[in-house]
Amino acid sequence: MKHSTFFWFVLPSAILMLAFIALPIVSIVTQSLYTSHEQVLVTVENCGPFGCTEVTSVDQDATQALKAAEPLGKWAGLDVYKDRNHLAVAEVASAWVNADGLPDFGRTLMNLPFYAALAFTLTYTFIVTPLTIVLGFFIAVAVNAVAKALKGPTIFLTLLPFIVTPLVGSLIIFWMVDARGILGTGLQWLADDPTLSVKASTPLMWIMLMFYGIWHSAPFAFVVFYAGLQTVNTDSLEAAMIDGANRWERIRYVVIPHLFPLVTFVALIQLMDNFRVFEPIVSFSAYAHANSLSIAIFNDLGGETRLLSSAAATSVLTIIGVAILLSPVLVRTYRDFSNPR
Amino acid sequence: MKLFKYAALGTATAVLMGTSAMAAGHGCNVTEGRINIVGNEFPAIQSVAAAAIGCASGIEAESNLTADHQKINVAGMTGNPAEYTSAIVANSSIVALINEDVVRPLDDLIAAYGQDIPTRQLITIDGKVMAVAFMANAQHLVYRSDVLEQIGMDVPTSYEDVLAAAEKIRAEGIMENPVGGAYAAGWNLAEEFVNMYLGTGGAFFEPGTANVSINNEQGVEALEMMKALTAYMNPDYLTHDSNATSAEWEAGNVALMNMWGSRTGVLMDDEGSEEVVYSNTVAGGPLTVGDSSVAASTLWWDGWTVAKNISDEEAAATFQALAHATSPALLNDETMSQAVWLMDGFDAQPVNEGVLATVAAGANPYPMLPFMGLLHTALGDNIADFLQGNESAEQALMDIEAAYTASATEQGFLQ
C-alpha cells in the first residue's frame, strides 16, 4: 500500500482513538497528579429550623481566589497514589516491619481499601475467566450436536443470560438467593442449616458473585466458539474418524487446536471485562463483603463530596492493572503475527 | 421524522398541562424567566415541585426528581448558564453546593418577594440566607403495639430497652429477628453510626478544625450497641437499606426499628401489609443510648436553593415559584400528612409524631460541615468489618479516621 493511501485510510480511526482513548487517559493522569486547593476554613454562625450553632465553613472568597490562581489545583505529584486510600505506601511499609509473620502482614494488607479491592478483583478475574471459557466451549460443542430443527431455539435460550441487562439479571438472582427466596431456601435445605444466608457470609457472597459472572458471560464465549466450530474442516474430522479417534479425541486433537486463536480472543476480552467487575457488586449490595477497583471509583465520584483526584488515581491504577494482565496475551499475539509459520 | 413528531407532540402536551396547572394555580403567576428544579424523589418533594411548576405561565418550567439527584445537582449547576435553576437539598447535601459555590445568597430576593417567609424556615450561614427549608425529618422508633402488649413491656425509650424487648420477643417465639434497621453497608450504615455516636454525647471533630476524633470511648460504645442490635436483626442486615427494612416491616417480620419519619406514612397505610401489621404500627420517640440523655438521632431539613449561574430574571422566577410552593397555600388534605411541614398552618398527623418528638427531645441536627460527607463515606466503608467480627471496634475506628484523613487531605481540608 502506498504511504499516502495508508495515511488517509487510518486517519479517521487514528483521530477517534486520539480523541476517545488517548486524551481521556492524559486527562486522568493529569487530574491524579493534582489535588484540591487548601480550603480556607472559617467559623461562622449557622441558623435553621433547629436553632443556631457555630460551625466550620469554607471561606468562599478566599478559596475562589486560590482556585482562580491555579485552576488545575495544587500540584501533588504522586501523593494521591501513595496515600492510604490507594497504594498506602507508608502503611504497607510499616506493616512489613511490624507484622508478626506473613499471615499478619496479609491481614493488615487486606484492611487497606485498595488491596482489599485488588484481592477481590484479581480472584474474580482469575476464577471467572477460565471457567467462562471452559463452560462456553462445552456449551458450544453441545449445541453444535443438537438436531438442526432445535438449534435456533437452543441458541436463543443459551444467549439469554448475556442479553439480560447485567444490573437486572443480578438483581433477580439477588432476590432468588435471599434467605426467603427460592434458591436461598433450597440452599438452606441442602445444607440442612436454617440460618444459612448467602448475603451474610463473605465466602458465599464471593462464590455468588463469581457464579453470576460465569453465568452472565459464558454465552459470549459460547457464541464465539460456536462460530468457530462452523469453520472446523470436516475433512480433518472424517480423517480422524477413519483413524479410529473417538468423540473426545476428535475434540482434543482437531477442534481445540483449530479454536485456539479464538481462546486468546475470548481470554483478552474477558480479562478486561472481569477486571472491571462492577454491576454484580452493586445489585448484590455486596459492599460489605467485596469491593473492586471500579466500585472504588464509583464511590469516589458518587459521594456528597466528589473526590476527583482519588477517582483519577484509581483509574490510572486500573489501566496499569489491565495492561499487566493483558501483557502475556498481547505478547503471544504479537509473536504469532511477527513469526509467520 | 417520526421521532420529531413525537417530540413536537410531547412539547404540546407539556404546554397544555402547564396551562391547565396555571388555571388551577392559586395566587402565583410567574411570566418571565425559567424554572428547572432538581431534587430527591418522595411524595412531599413531588408536591412542592408540582406546585412550583404550576406557577409558571407561558415560560419554560420543569423538574427532574430522582433518588440520584446528588450525583447530578452540582454538575447541573456548575455551567453558566446553569441547567438547573434550583436544587432541593437537605442539610447534608447543601454543603456540596456551597463548597462548589453554585448557589446564591437569597437575601435580595427575600427582600423583594419573600417577606412572608417565617425566619425559622431560613437557613442562614454567616448571616446570608442560603436556602429555604420547608420540611423536617428524623429517624425515630417505630414499634408494633400489639407485640409489645403481648410481651407485657412498655414502649422502649432507650436502645437498652430495645435489646431487652427484642430478647423477650425472641424468647417467647413471636419473631426470630424482631429488630429492624437500615444497616446496608454504605450511606445507611454510616447514618446509623452518626445517630448512635451523637446519642452517646460524642463529637466528630475537634472544635474549629477538620481533625476527626471518633476513636474514643463514645465511638466504641456506639459501635458495641450497633453490634448488639444486629444480633436481633435479619442476618442479611448489611444489605438492607431503608426500602428493604420497610419491606421487612410490612411483611410482619419486625417489631422494633429506628426509621425515617418520612417513611412512616407508607408503613401505616393499608397498602402492602396485613391489617394486624399496619393498624398496630406506631411512631414513637427517639431512643437514647447508655447514660447520656441526648437523643440518638439527627434532625434533617429539606429545603430549596437558587442557582448562582443564572440570570436575575430566572432567579426571580425560581424564587417566586418555590416560595409560593412552600407557603401555607401548599397545605391541603392530601399534602398535610406527607411530611412535617415547617410552614404556618401545618396540622400534625399521627404519622408525624415521631419526628416532632425527636425535635422536642432536642436531638442534634445532622452536622452541616464541609467535610462531614467525607467522614460519612469513610464510616460507611469501614463499619461492616467490625459488625461481621473481622476486627475490633478500636481497629474499625482507626481505619475510619485514617480513611477520612486521607480523603480530607486530598480535598484540602487538612494539610
Q: Give me the count of residues in chain B.
A: 415
Counting the structural domains of chain A, the total is 1
B251-259 mean pLDDT: 95
The one-letter amino acid code at A315 reads: S
- A328 vs B11, higher pLDDT: A328
Domains B21-137+301-353 and B138-299+360-410 fall in the same CATH topology = yes
Partner-chain contact B403 A84, CB within 8 Å: yes
Partner-chain contact B374 A303, CB within 8 Å: yes
Cα A26 from Cα A22, distance rounded (Å): 6
Q: Which of A44, A48, A310 faces B133 most closely, judged by CB atoms? A: A48
Partner-chain contact B124 A200, CB within 8 Å: no
The residue among A136, A112, A110 whose CA lies nearest residue A123 is A110
Cα B170 from Cα B163, distance rounded (Å): 11
pTM above 0.80, yes or no: yes
Cα B99 from Cα A93, distance rounded (Å): 35
Q: Is B79's Cβ below 8 Å from some Cβ in A? A: no
Is the reported ipTM for this assembly greater than 0.85? yes
B360-388 mean pLDDT: 93
B193-216 mean pLDDT: 94
Q: Which of B342, B373, B395 faces A305 most closely, judged by CB atoms? A: B373
Cα A325 from Cα A223, distance rounded (Å): 24
Q: How confident is the model at residue A197 (pLDDT cuts 50, 70, 90)?
A: confident
For B145, other C-beta atoms within 10 Å of its C-beta total 14
User: Which chain B residues are within 8 Å of A303, Cβ to Cβ?
Assistant: 373-374, 376-377
pLDDT at B126: 87
pLDDT at B27: 67
> A64-73, A255-264, B43-52, B203-212: which range is least confident on average?
A64-73
User: Which chain A residues are within 8 Å of B238, Cβ to Cβ?
Assistant: 199-200, 285, 288-289
Partner-chain contact B124 A46, CB within 8 Å: yes
Please work out, in degrees rounded to the nearest 5, the angle formed at the alpha carbon of residue B124 by the alpha carbons of B121 and B128. 130
What CATH homologous superfamily does B138-299+360-410 map to? Periplasmic binding protein-like II (3.40.190.10)
- A-B contacts at Cβ under 8 angstroms: 173
CATH number at residue A320: 1.10.3720.10
> A247-261, B6-20, B210-224, B323-337: which range is least confident on average?
B6-20
Q: Is the pLDDT of residue A1 over 90?
A: no
Is B198:B385 a contact under the CB 8 Å cutoff? no
- The structural domains of chain B, with segments of one domain joined by +, span 21-137+301-353, 138-299+360-410
Chain A nearest CA to B7, separation (Å)? 27
Q: How confident is the model at residue B20 (pLDDT cuts 50, 70, 90)?
A: very low
Contacts of residues A196-203 at CB distance under 8 Å and 24 or more positions apart, as own/partner, are A197/B235, A197/B236, A199/A284, A199/A285, A199/B235, A199/B236, A199/B238, A199/B239, A200/B235, A200/B236, A200/B237, A200/B238, A201/A289, A202/A289, A202/A290, A202/B388
- A331 vs B212, higher pLDDT: B212
Q: Which of A37, A55, A199 faces B369 most closely, judged by CB atoms? A: A55
Of all residues in chain B, the one with the smallest CA distance to A184 is B236
Percent of chain B exceeding pLDDT 70 equals 93
pLDDT at B415: 78
- In chain A the first and final C-alpha atoms are separated, in Å, by 23
pLDDT tens-digit readout, A127-176: 999 999 999 999 999 999 888 899 999 999 999 988 888 888 888 988 89
Percent of chain A exceeding pLDDT 90 equals 51
> A226-230, B105-109, B345-349: which range is least confident on average?
B345-349
Is A16:A5 a contact under the CB 8 Å cutoff? no
Cα B403 from Cα B27, distance rounded (Å): 52
Percent of chain B exceeding pLDDT 90 equals 72
Cα B214 from Cα B401, distance rounded (Å): 7
Q: How confident is the model at residue A340 (pLDDT cuts 50, 70, 90)?
A: low
Q: Which structural domain, as residue segments, surrounds residue A116? A: 112-338
- Does residue A120 sit in helix, strand or coil? helix
Q: Is the pLDDT of residue B176 over 70?
A: yes
List CB contacts of B415: < 8 A, sequence separation 6 or more.
A38, B409
Q: Which of B125, B184, B387 faces A46 most closely, judged by CB atoms? A: B125
Q: Is the pLDDT of residue B108 over 60?
A: yes
CA distances from residue A235 to A67, A238, A241, A333 in whole angstroms, order as listed: 72, 5, 10, 28
> For cell 445517630, what's the residue?
B195
Partner-chain contact A50 B412, CB within 8 Å: no
Q: Is the pLDDT of residue B12 over 60?
A: no
Q: Is the pLDDT of residue B8 over 60?
A: no
Q: Is the pLDDT of residue B371 over 80?
A: yes
User: Which chain A residues are within 8 Å of B237, Cβ to Cβ?
Assistant: 200
B216-226 mean pLDDT: 96
The residue among A161, A166, A199 whose CA lies nearest residue A180 is A199
Q: Is the pLDDT of residue B5 over 70?
A: no
A304-313 mean pLDDT: 89
Partner-chain contact B413 A178, CB within 8 Å: no
B324-337 mean pLDDT: 91
Which CATH number does the domain B21-137+301-353 belong to among 1.10.132.20, 3.20.20.70, 3.40.190.10, 3.40.50.300?
3.40.190.10
Q: Which of B74, B95, B365 faces A50 most closely, judged by CB atoms? A: B365
Chain A nearest CA to B236, separation (Å)? 5
Q: Is residue A86 part of a domain?
A: no
List CB contacts of B251: < 8 A, sequence separation 6 or more.
B273
B11, HSE (Cβ side, Cα atoms, 13 Å):
8
pLDDT tens-digit readout, A58-84: 888 888 888 888 888 889 889 999 999
Cα B122 from Cα B118, distance rounded (Å): 7
Mean pLDDT score of chain B, rounded to an integer? 89
